[in-house]
Every structure is written in C-alpha cells, then in structure tokens.
Amino acid sequence: MHKSGDLYNKSLISAQIGRFVSVFPRCPLNGAYEIQSFCLGHTDFVSCITFICSSDSNKAFLISGSGDSTVRLWDPISGNLLDTCEIGLKVGRVGSSGDEEACHPAVTDLCASPDGSLVAVGVQSLRGVMLLSCDHHKEYLLVIK
C-alpha cells in the first residue's frame, strides 16, 4: 500500500493534449520511464489537474477538469474513475446565444485546500468559482456552492 505522501513525492502527473491523464513514477526504472496508470474518461481536452493527499484516510487522489464541463476524481495508482461532477449542469446556461459552448462551459482551473477536503473550480465565463467538497472516505465530489 502506498502512503499518500509517498505517492505525491514519487509521481509525475501529466495532462495530455488528448482526453486523458498519465501518472509516471518520478524515479524511472533503469533509466526508462514507465506509465503507472492512465486516467481515461474525459470526452474533451483535459485543462487542469491537481493532486490531493488525505491525511485522515492515508490515500492519494487526482482531480482533473476538462472542456467536457466535468471535474473527475481518480485513483492515481489504478487509474480508476471514482466520481464525476457535471459542472455544466450545476452552472446552468452561461450565455444567452444558445450555442454548445455556452451550455457546457469548460473547467479552466482547480485549486485544492491543503487537506484536500475542498476544491475551488474555475469555470469558463463564470464570475467567481464553484466550491466542491471532496469526501475521501466515500470517494465522491459534491458541489457546495
């Protein structure tokens, strides 16, 4: 079992141009980089990622935001998707033009609190931020404001 701090200190996280996130060990095996896991699930570009460590449950999580208007919670060891928060549905219609982009605004920024229990989410065309609660034990995200 990995301790969350160990994983944070020994991993390199990369959001690719495509629709996935890669997790690499920071110290390559025999000089060759290997991919520890892929986090697959977004349907549009990955725009931002953050890594959180839970001190109370000794787990590490990855959170990603995307042009598909979702924030996703991942297990970085296995690459398993734990939860998806549909930000576009919570924000509602941002623009009045009726176009697709206005209905599904991209997630542009993520910032987690030091303990990982709160995540501030920047959303395209939204003044201010949305706040998500991250439950480490139940492994889900919940919009709180």
Q: What global pTM score does this model have?
A: 0.77
Q: With bands split at pLDDT 50, 70 and 90, how would you rate the model's confidence at 127?
A: confident
pLDDT at 92: 63
Phi and psi at 98, nearest 5°, equal: 80, 5
* CA 95 vs CA 45, 65, 99, 129, 131: distances in Å: 21, 20, 8, 17, 21
The string of pLDDT tens digits covering residues 18-49 is 655 666 565 555 655 666 677 788 888 889 99
Mean pLDDT of 75-96: 78
Fold of 13-92+104-143: Methylamine Dehydrogenase; Chain H (2.130.10)
Q: For residue 3, name the pLDDT band (cuts at 50, 70, 90).
A: very low
Mean pLDDT of the chain: 77
pLDDT of residue 133: 95
Domain boundaries, the chain: 13-92+104-143
In this predicted structure, the answer to whether residue 96 has a pLDDT above a threshold of 50 is: no
Question: What are the pLDDT digits (tens) for 55-85?
Answer: 776 788 999 999 999 999 998 888 899 999 9
